Amino acid sequence: MTSVEGILFAAALFCCSLATGGYLISLLVRRVALAKISTWILAAGFMLLALNLLFAAVHWTDWSSFGSRHFLSIYAWVIAGIYLGLQLKTKTRLLGAFIAPFILLFLIAAAGQGSDRNLVPSQWQGGLTTLHLVLAIAGEALFVLASAAGAMFLIQNNLLKNKKPGPLGRLLPSLGDLDQINHFGLLWGFPLLTLGMIGGAVYAAFVWGGSWPADPKVVWSFAVWVFYGFLLHQRLAIGWKGSRMAVLSCLGLIAFLLSALGIRFCLATVHNFI
Amino acid sequence: MIGLVGLNHKTAPLAVRERLFAGCQEQANLLADLKAIDGVLEILHLSTCNRVELVASLEDAPRALGELESFLARYGGLADEEAAACLYTYRDREAIRHLFRVTSSLDSLVMGEAQILGQVKDAYRLALAQNATGVVLNRLMHRAFRAAKRVRTETGIAANPVSVSFAAVELAKKIFGTLAGRKILIIGAGEMAELTCTHLVGNGAEDITVVNRSPAQARLLAEKFHGAAVGLEALDEALCDVDIVISSTGAPTYVVTGEMVRRCLRKRKNRLLFLVDIAVPRDIDPAADEVENVYLYNIDHLQDIVDENIKNRRREALKAEAIIEEEVANYTNWLKELEAVPTIVSLRSKAEGIVRTEMEKASGWMENLENADREKVEALVHGIVNKVLHAPVAVMKEESAEFASQDIVAAARQLFRLDD
């Protein structure tokens, strides 16, 4: 890692911490102005992270210089990008209070990883692996977004059902907007994850042929994929909307995160690089 | 100085306000008449359904204020004791504060309402067009608008609705986001339902359906909103289609039952449904609220929100008062300077002029002096002039801080013959 790259990463991390703090405080003191400022700070962090990744790409010679730091950074970058893109369309800045902590979490995890550590074992490096990883990450990032919108929907729903809209209710986006974001996240997250998994499967078929290792990550990812597929189906075909979708999206995300952490630290998996 | 005479909804009963309002409306050249009053330099006349006020820049204030009071009493046909009870008179800082509070809607019947600012602006425009204002009132009015703008943006005084119909609109926005293209169903033909519907349509809702026991009445209301009228038997079907329901019938039992709502929700594919029940006794079964994605608000719920918002506005008003004080201080500082500063400046320049002429006269014999001695003489002369002027300048400054500099300033101008 070059020193410029390191400075850029540190600056991006700083911006994201600042933005996360700003969002959370804006939620506490109920002032939208602070969330607006935080959005700009997050946008700055997003640009810095993009530069950081660009620098890494320029100095990228082969897979051995591509560390898990970059990988987690891409994760954070994609989520931030989707969120900021959404900000251009809808004025739901408070969503940041739910998204920014995720971005920060990924960046902190990235900071903890040495970039010199080889991310993907050398025998598996290749174009198809990259495709598999990037698509899966983008898909999962969209699910995070859908679930964050779902969590906010539940809070707003609770306030409105109890006839206490109050200052917090005024601050949170409308139910309609939140449901739309949930819809958007599922609608685009699912095909991306699907393509990512197909990429992985095709690659695995090349490497291992017919008999794949019974990898817990593969099994569990498949379960998560089926669950989200089920949600999307219910949404599009049956017309599930609103609170039921919100509850299920949140449960889906919690299950996904727990499994990702559990598998990463407790079970043996071929995906143990991330 | 600045003076203000007037009456408002707190001091005068409606009958008096009506009389005065009408009296002032009838008078075509009211401002010209007011300006003709001895001692009135600049004047502005504000007349709304809740208040009639005269704001003026005055000379010889006590007498001029008395004239303005009797002017209002005459136009309103007020007897002496009536005028004494209804009219209020403010001067200087008090008058400025009152005007700023009025413009910022802190003195309004519904605190935080937006209408008054427009009315004050109109009054100012009229006065401006008739050349009734000058440098003092022009600046005063601009400062009043600035204070109103600050109160509006820096406090939450106008943030939340304080009427039931607007509270319903706010809730609809919290549920649907945008109201553009939303479909509304009105059950019954209550006035409140109509008002709420008007606000919803004003916010983009379209496609109105009216259900009523009497088809004729339904048609009447539907025509107003270019909507459709259907009979009571089509209620089930209509429920499946719309986003917002406003109900205000006189029916003794529930018109919309929980079962009806549950049934239609399946057909409407779980789309969000906002039910507003403003009827007493209630029209919509409270069980409907238990259905997923349905939000039922009855008149008490809405009233609670309104009460809470009114409480909030009172809290915000405290912040607004602080802003007003700041703006009042800003303006009075300017005004004070306006009164004393020109006199102080001309007094100083007159003294300097005298020094200059006298030094020129003395230049003949002063040439014989050493350079150092000449400088000493000049310093002595300047020292004496400054010492002599120090007391009058200090007194003018002190008095202007108390708004009492006018007489002193006038005396100074006369004593030193500054106006010659």
DSSP string covering B1-31: -EEEEEEETTTS-HHHHHHHHHHHHH-TTHH
Q: B108 and B51 in contact (C-beta within 8 Å)? A: no
Is B24 among the catalytic positions? no
Percentage of chain A lying above the pLDDT 90 cut: 15
Q: Does the distance separating the beta carbons of B305 and A242 come in below 8 Å?
A: no
Q: Are residues A224 and A91 in the same domain?
A: no
A174 at interface of B, judged by CB pairs closer than 8 A: yes
Distance CA B121, CA B95 (A): 18
CB atoms within 10 A of CB A187: 14
Distance CA B143, CA B131 (A): 19
- Whether residue A126 lies inside any domain: the answer is yes
3-state percent breakdown (helix, strand, coil) of chain A, nearest 5 = 80, 0, 20
- Lateral strand order in the sheet of B51-58: B40-47, B51-58, B2-8, B88-91
* Half-sphere exposure for B294 (CA within 13 Å, toward CB): 30
- Whether residue A180 lies inside any domain: the answer is yes
Instruction: Report the alpha-carbon angle B188-B193-B194, nearest 5.
Output: 100
Give the pLDDT band of residue A209 (cuts 50, 70, 90): low
Q: What is the pLDDT of residues A132-188, one digit of tens each?
A: 777 888 888 888 888 888 999 999 999 999 998 887 888 888 899 889 889 988 999
Q: What is the pLDDT of residues B132-163, one digit of tens each?
A: 998 889 999 999 999 999 999 898 888 888 88
Which position among B49, B86, B197, B240 bears the catalytic label? B49
- Give the pLDDT confidence score for residue B171 in this predicted structure: 93
- Give the pLDDT confidence score for residue B297 in this predicted structure: 95
Q: How far is CA A12 from the centre of its chain?
A: 17
Looking at the partner chain, which of A156, A180, A242 has a beta carbon nearest the beta carbon of B292?
A242
DSSP-derived 3-state class of residue B350? helix
Is the per-residue pLDDT at B326 higher than 90? yes
Residue A2: phi and psi, rounded to 5, are -75, 165
Å from A171 to nearest chain B CA?
A: 10
- Give the pLDDT confidence score for residue B15 in this predicted structure: 86
Q: Are residues A209 and A176 in the same domain?
A: yes
CB neighbour burial string for A112-128, b if at least 16 within 10 angstroms, e if fewer? ebebeeebbeeeebeeb
Domain boundary among A86, A109, A132: A109
- Give the pLDDT confidence score for residue B397 in this predicted structure: 81
Q: What is the pLDDT of residues B26-35, one digit of tens each?
A: 777 888 889 8
- Greatest CA separation found in chain A? 60
What mean pLDDT is predicted for residues B262-281? 89
Give the pLDDT band of residue A252 (cuts 50, 70, 90): confident
- Give the pLDDT confidence score for residue B277 in this predicted structure: 93
- The secondary structure of A18-64, three-state, reads HHHHHHHHHHHHCCHHHHHHHHHHHHHHHHHHHHHHHHHHHCCCCHH
- Give the pLDDT confidence score for residue B126 in this predicted structure: 92
- Give the pLDDT confidence score for residue B302 in this predicted structure: 93
Number of independent structural domains in chain A: 2
- Give the pLDDT confidence score for residue A271 in this predicted structure: 61
Q: Are residues A63 and A132 in the same domain?
A: no
A165 interaction partners in chain B (CB closer than 8 Å)? 170-171, 174, 305
A&B contacts, CB < 8 Å: 57
Domain boundary among A109, A141, A176: A109
Give the pLDDT band of residue A256 (cuts 50, 70, 90): confident
Long-range contacts of A268-272 (CB under 8 A, 24+ apart): A268/A216, A269/A215, A269/A216, A269/A217, A270/A213, A270/A215, A270/A217, A271/A215, A271/A217, A271/A218
Q: Identify the helix (H) or strand (E) that includes residue B207.
A: strand B206-211
What mean pLDDT is predicted for residues A70-83? 83
Looking at the partner chain, which of A169, A242, A243 has a beta carbon nearest the beta carbon of B174?
A169
- Give the pLDDT confidence score for residue B341 in this predicted structure: 81
What's the mean per-residue pLDDT of chain A?
Answer: 80
Q: Is B287 exposed, middle or buried (0-12, 13-18, 19+ CB in 10 A)?
A: middle
- Whether residue A97 lies inside any domain: the answer is yes
Distance CA B72, CA B85 (A): 13
Residue of B nearest to A31 (CA): B156
What's the mean per-residue pLDDT of chain B?
Answer: 89
Distance CA B361, CA B363 (A): 6
Percentage of chain B lying above the pLDDT 70 cut: 99
Distance CA B418, CA B414 (A): 7
Residue of A nearest to B290 (CA): A161
- Give the pLDDT confidence score for residue B355 in this predicted structure: 92
CATH number among 3.30.40.230, 3.40.50.2000, 3.30.460.30, 3.40.50.740, domain B2-159: 3.30.460.30
- Give the pLDDT confidence score for residue B162 in this predicted structure: 85
Give the pLDDT band of residue A202 (cuts 50, 70, 90): confident
Q: Are residues A104 and A139 in the same domain?
A: no
Give the pLDDT band of residue A242 (cuts 50, 70, 90): confident
- Whether residue A248 lies inside any domain: the answer is yes
Q: Are residues A140 and A271 in the same domain?
A: yes
Q: What is the pLDDT of residues B340-394, one digit of tens each?
A: 888 888 899 999 999 999 999 988 888 888 889 888 999 999 999 999 999 988 8
More confident residue, A205 or B73: B73
- Give the pLDDT confidence score for residue B104 in this predicted structure: 94
Q: Which two tokens stand for residue A238?
A: 């049956």
- Give the pLDDT confidence score for residue B7 in this predicted structure: 92
Domain boundary among A109, A128, A162: A109
Among A90, A152, A174, A243, which would you mutate to test the B interface (most chain B Cβ atoms within 10 Å of its Cβ)? A174
More confident residue, B248 or A272: B248
B269 interaction partners in chain A (CB closer than 8 Å)? 238-239, 241
Q: What is the pLDDT of residues B112-127, one digit of tens each?
A: 888 999 999 999 999 9
Is the per-residue pLDDT at A60 higher than 70? no
- Whether residue A114 lies inside any domain: the answer is no
- Give the pLDDT confidence score for residue A266 in this predicted structure: 65
B304 interaction partners in chain A (CB closer than 8 Å)? 163
Q: Are residues A133 and A103 in the same domain?
A: no
Domain boundaries, chain B: 2-159, 164-299, 332-415
Looking at the partner chain, which of A174, A238, A239 has a beta carbon nearest the beta carbon of B174?
A174
Q: Are residues A268 and A172 in the same domain?
A: yes
- Whether residue A27 lies inside any domain: the answer is yes
Q: What is the pLDDT of residues B49-108, one digit of tens each?
A: 889 999 999 987 788 999 999 998 888 888 888 888 899 999 989 999 999 999 999 999
Give the pLDDT band of residue B408 (cuts 50, 70, 90): confident
Q: Are residues A93 and A169 in the same domain?
A: no
- Give the pLDDT confidence score for residue A150 in this predicted structure: 92
B160 interaction partners in chain A (CB closer than 8 Å)? 170
CATH 3.40.50.150 fits B164-299, yes or no: no
Q: Are residues A67 and A190 in the same domain?
A: no
Q: Are residues A102 and A157 in the same domain?
A: no
Å from A117 to nearest chain B CA?
A: 47
Q: Are residues A182 and A222 in the same domain?
A: yes
Domain span including residue A168: 120-274
What mean pLDDT is predicted for residues B185-203? 87
Q: Does the distance separating the beta carbons of B289 and A179 come in below 8 Å?
A: no
Residue of B nearest to A92 (CA): B177
Among A155, A163, A240, which would you mutate to test the B interface (most chain B Cβ atoms within 10 Å of its Cβ)? A163
- The secondary structure of A94-141, three-state, reads HHHHHHHHHHHHHHHHHHHCCCCCCCCCHHHCCHHHHHHHHHHHHHHH
Q: Are residues A138 and A195 in the same domain?
A: yes
Q: Does the distance separating the beta carbons of B301 and A244 come in below 8 Å?
A: no
- Give the pLDDT confidence score for residue B1 in this predicted structure: 82
Q: A74 and A134 in contact (C-beta within 8 Å)? A: yes
Q: What is the pLDDT of residues B16-25, one digit of tens each?
A: 888 888 877 7
Q: Does the distance separating the beta carbons of B295 and A161 come in below 8 Å?
A: yes
Q: What is the pLDDT of residues A91-130, one digit of tens each?
A: 667 778 888 888 888 888 878 765 545 555 555 556 677 7
CB atoms within 10 A of CB A273: 17
Q: Does the distance separating the beta carbons of A166 and B293 come in below 8 Å?
A: no
- Give the pLDDT confidence score for residue B114 in this predicted structure: 85
Distance CA A12, CA A15 (A): 5
